[in-house]
């Protein structure tokens, strides 16, 4: 089993670009997709408190759009690979809940 952590979309000046191609999905042959999300306010707060990286501050509307596009793209990847996609909420102070939702994805029968 492999876990690949990546962005489902890349925002460009011309719109969103998929993070994977059909060839990538065919080559990787994923068994599962997991989309990890948080509220825009949580994302903004995490970025403000992350001194390890220089990040642009984006509006809640922009973050919502980015997550929506990424979820739509993840769903398209899952459809192309005939693979399930799980949506996991990563709320502040509730990492254990997110982990508890993620672990069964790693241990399920293929």
SS (H, E, C) 13-62: CCEEEECCCHHHHHHHCCCCEEEEECCHHHHHHHHHCCCCCCCCCCCHHH
Question: 73 near 21, Cβ under 8 Å?
Answer: no
CATH class entry, domain 32-107: alpha beta
pTM for the structure as a whole: 0.85
* Region of poorest pLDDT, from 13-17, 49-53, 86-90, 95-99: 49-53
**Chain length of the chain:** 110
Give mean pLDDT, residues 92-105. 93
Boundaries of every domain in the chain: 32-107
pLDDT in tens, 8-66: 999 999 999 999 999 999 999 999 999 999 999 999 999 888 888 887 788 999 999 99
Spatial separation of the C-alpha atoms in residues 12 and 61, rounded to whole Å: 17
């Amino acid at each position: 089993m492999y876990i690949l952590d990546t962005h489902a979309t890349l925002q460009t000046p011309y719109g969103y670009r998929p993070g994977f191609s059909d060839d990538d999905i065919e080559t990787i042959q994923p068994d599962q997709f997991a989309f990890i999300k948080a509220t825009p306010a949580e994302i903004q707060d995490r970025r403000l408190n992350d001194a390890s990286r220089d990040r642009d501050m984006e509006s809640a509307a922009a973050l919502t759009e980015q997550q929506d596009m990424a979820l739509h793209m993840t769903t398209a990847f899952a459809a192309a690979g005939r693979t399930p996609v799980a949506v996991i909420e990563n709320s502040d102070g509730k990492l254990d809940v997110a982990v508890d939702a993620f672990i069964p994805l790693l241990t399920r029968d293929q």
